[in-house]
Structure 1
Amino acid sequence: STQQYAKLQTLLKSKVLDWAMRGKLVEQDPHDEPASVLLEKIKAEKRKMIKEKEIKKSKPLPPITDEEKPFDIPDSWEWVRLGNIAKRITDGTHNPPPNSHEGKQVISAINIKKGKIDFSLSNRFVSEDQFLKEDKRTNIRKGDVLLTIVGSLGNAAVVDTDKLFTAQRSVAVISSNILSKFLYYVLISAMFKTQIFANAKGTTQKGIYLSKLINLKLPLPPLAEQNRIVDKIDNLFIY
């Protein structure tokens, strides 16, 4: 039946993502620049951005101990925390301004569905003036990855539009130095979702704080392999 087929699809997708996270989906290439080099480049770029006052200096994150690593990954990969690979992680406004019904759109977790941002699912707007204030905080740009962090947890989407918009606090904005689509696949993988749910708090509505989010772990492949993994997943599933 269609229902069974849909169930099978979901199961296959999660299995493929699991293999991808373990470095078992595509072959490693010994000529790839290892992830450790990529991490050094990310650190250097962050230092430059701090110097140029584009981002604030943040406290160093604790190193990942062997006990914390959920599984083995290839030698050319590194275990990292989300905060290690992100230039900036923020959430939307905690005090949403009144709806101006025109201007720039304000999205929330409702708008992030099946890997896409569906602007038609809500109609909250801010005036152009108000948007400039909000945009200082969220600064959502093409290539950023959005993640729902309040209410419905763990849905993600890559921003693939030049349209300017902002968000409410149920959405985290992650601007990173790794391949956006690879980061998207990390965020929706069981390995990462398990961590989100384990760290979520709240009784009526569960949410995860940014201070917890930046500490969540992910396996980081070399950049060239990130590209191969994304191509492979995209070919296997038309998401």
Structure 2
Amino acid sequence: MVDAITENLDLWSSAIFNKSTAGRGTSDKQTAYGIKKLRELILELAVRGKLVPQDPNDEPASVLLEKIAVEKERLVKEGKIKKQNPLPEINDDEKSFGLPSGWEWVRLQDVSAYIQRGKGPKYADQGQVRVISQKCIQWNGFDLLQAKYVDDDSITSYQPERFLVENDLLWNSTGTGTVGRINVLAKVKPNSLVADSHVTVIRPLNINSNFILWALPYFAEKPLHVVL
């Protein structure tokens, strides 16, 4: 990894700007800033396929995408997911950089069974189903103590796919101070959690949710894109 960093110092230097030295604790601020930029560089290299040598024997992304397409078709036929409207192909202007052999640019929908913002609930003091709001989503997990309840009488208005399942990605779509926070729902009791309208649910298909978790903030300005 050290070689990858030193060989790509142009990426590091292009991301650095002069930071104000005013105020107390300047040294600590500079140190924290350096660590932050180093983390960003490591993520940058990983996303571009430059962090470690590429194994030519690895299965190409095209094979995985074919498997995902077959699985989607099966789930649609069984009525477990809805058929997604096709999106336009990614054009050259949308591709931020070149990819290693075997990698592909795809839209997030291509590798997800479900992407949808939650819905505004009818709240209650008690109930069977809790609501994940933007305040519940933290960078280090979920704070369900802040989750309110859906009124039991309104639960029938929720389609089956709106109930959160294990490995769902929950991404804050809006919210002052909370927008952009994202995390993976590790475990959940069936039909016990839903998301409110400020939270986007991403349900990857045959893809490790933690891969999307780390890659998505990098592509936050173009949220429909991801690299495989």
TM-score under structure 1 normalisation?
0.75
| Matched-pair contact (CA < 8 Å) for 1:108–1:170 | yes
| Matched-pair contact (CA < 8 Å) for 1:115–1:155 | no
User: Which residue of 2 is the match for residue 57 of structure 1?
Assistant: 83
Q: Which amino acid aligns with 1:105?
A: R
Q: Which amino acid aligns with 1:140?
A: L
Higher RCO, Cα 8 Å, sep 6+ = 1
User: Which residue of 2 is the match for residue 217 of structure 1?
Assistant: 225
What is the CA–CA distance in structure 2 between the aligned matches of 1:137 and 1:52, rounded to whole Å?
14
Superposed CA RMSD: 2.0
| Matched-pair contact (CA < 8 Å) for 2:164–2:188 | no
What is the Cα deviation at residue 115 of structure 1?
4.4
| Matched-pair contact (CA < 8 Å) for 2:133–2:147 | no
**2:131 is the alignment partner of 1:101:** no
User: Which residue of 2 is the match for residue 187 of structure 1?
Assistant: 216
What is the Cα deviation at residue 26 of structure 1?
2.2
Identity %: 38
Structure 1 segments unaligned to the other structure (5+ residues): 197-215, 221-239
User: Which residue of 2 is the match for residue 39 of structure 1?
Assistant: 65
List per-residue Cα deviations over 1:32-64 (Å, max 9, x = no partner).
110000001111111111111111112211111
What is the CA–CA distance in structure 1 between the aligned matches of 2:31 and 2:153, rounded to whole Å?
49
What is the Cα deviation at residue 4 of structure 1?
3.4
User: Which residue of 2 is the match for residue 92 of structure 1?
Assistant: 118
User: Which residue of 1 is the match for residue 202 of structure 2?
Assistant: 174
Structure 2 segments unaligned to the other structure (5+ residues): 1-26
Question: What SS does structure 2 have at the residue aligned with 1:188?
Answer: helix
What is the CA–CA distance in structure 2 between the aligned matches of 1:161 and 1:2, rounded to whole Å?
37
Q: Summarize the alignment of residues 69-80 of structure 1 with structure 2, pairs less than 5 Å apart.
A: 69-80=95-106
Aligned residues: 197
| Matched-pair contact (CA < 8 Å) for 2:81–2:161 | no
Q: Which amino acid aligns with 2:91?
A: T
Q: Max radius of gyration: which structure?
A: 2
**2:176 is the alignment partner of 1:148:** no
Question: Aligned pair in 2 of structure 1 residues 184, 132: CA closer, same or farther (>3 Å)?
Answer: farther
Question: Aligned pair in 2 of structure 1 residues 188, 37: CA closer, same or farther (>3 Å)?
Answer: same
